[in-house]
Amino acid sequence: MNATNIIKSDFLDILFDGRNKDYGAYDLRRSEDKRVRNAIIGTTSIALVIIGGYVLSNKLMAADMHTRKDVAVKETILKELEIPEEKPLTPPPPPVTTPPPPAASSIRLVPPVITDDELVRTEDEVPKIDSIGNKSIGVANIQGDDVDGADNPFENGLKGGNNVIEPPKAEVRDEPFVTVEIMPSFPGGEDALSRFLQRNIRYPHMAQENGIEGRVFVQFIIDPEGKVSEVQTVGAHKGGGLEEEAIRVVKLMPNWKPGRQSGRNVSVRYNLPIGFFLAQ
């Protein structure tokens, strides 16, 4: 390259003088500024599009929040709870009162004194043994509720002289009790009763298909031997086979521990609630 060409040529021509310009490096160096410019313009354009889309999306969301309609609220109406009628409870029997013991007869003690018969008064005479009977010796002559002490049941504790007072006899009745001193209990307690019901109850298909659920009250009698009898349902009727299933399960129960009143086993009318609820 002569001096004239050097003045007219740029840096790339001088750099690649005498080299193979068709290899590709020359064209890359020559188009470098254009490619850098295009890259900057493209990157800037993409950034502007992203920022513009973000701003536009915020404006649209803000406008939608101002113009949205009120959310419709569905009114929920609670059904009235069906409370079974409670039967009046039979009051417990009145407490047995023991009458006070009758007053015992007594005869006045007369100390013996030796004197003339003419000076002895009638009230000072020593009573004969035959006239004392079962009377006790006291400071005065007292006529009690007994007759000569013969009918006093408390003379020696009780008749027979065993000094033991018999407890009041329990009330004998044909009708079963509603409340007693010791209520009947399922063998194993309430936890065992819950496990028995869960293990044996089969939810009726008709009740499942129609969405029938609720609490069924079963009434039955537990006799003095603990056997379950006279099983029936009381209260509002649920339907769907719930009452029949509750009665079936109660009849499968083993013997209960019977109730006790005044120290003896008695029949008790028992109420048992059994719940039927569908899984949510």
Which tens digit of pLDDT belongs to each residue from 153-210? 444 444 444 555 566 565 556 688 999 999 999 999 999 999 999 999 999 999 999 9
- The answer to whether the CB of 165 falls within 8 A of the CB of 158 is yes
Backbone angles phi, psi at 119, to 5 degrees: -90, -5
- Poorest-pLDDT segment among 11-20, 208-217, 221-230: 11-20
What is the pLDDT, as a whole number, of residue 105? 72
Number of domains present in the structure of the chain: 3
Does the residue 185 lie in any domain? no
Q: Both tokens of residue 147?
A: 């007759």
- Going by the DSSP 8-state scheme, the letter that residue 184 receives in this structure is -
Percent of the chain at pLDDT > 70 equals: 56
Q: What is the mean pLDDT of residues 251-261?
A: 94
Q: Is residue 267 part of a domain?
A: yes
Whether pTM exceeds 0.85: no
Look at residue 166 in the predicted model and tell me its pLDDT: 60
Residue 27's pLDDT is 72
User: Would residue 82 count as lying in a domain?
Assistant: no
- The mean pLDDT of the chain is 77
CB 227 within 8 Å of CB 255: yes
Give the residue with greater pLDDT, 152 vs 188.
188
- Please report, for residues 107, 133, 250, 262, the alpha-carbon distance to residue 254 in angstroms, rounded to integers and kept in the order given: 65, 61, 9, 25
Q: Give the number of residues written for the chain.
A: 280
Q: What is the pLDDT of residue 8?
A: 47
Instruction: Tell whether 45 is covered by a domain.
Output: yes
pLDDT tens string 68-110? 555 555 665 656 666 677 677 777 777 777 777 766 677 666 6
**Average pLDDT, stretch 137-163?**
54
Q: Are residues 161 and 201 in the same domain?
A: no
**Which domain range does residue 59 map to?**
1-77
Residue at 202 is within a domain = yes
Tokens 């008790």 belong to residue: 268
Residue 268 within any structural domain of the chain: yes
Question: Per-residue pLDDT for 43 more than 90?
Answer: yes
pLDDT digits over 52-64, tens only? 888 988 888 887 7
Task: Decide if 178 is inside a domain.
Answer: no
- Ranking 147-151, 189-193, 210-214 by mean pLDDT, the lowest is 147-151
Same domain as 201, residue 245: yes
pLDDT at residue number 161? 45
Domain boundary among 133, 151, 166: 166
Structure-model confidence comparison of residues 125 and 247, the more confident one: 247
Cα–Cα distance, 24 to 14 (Å, whole number): 16
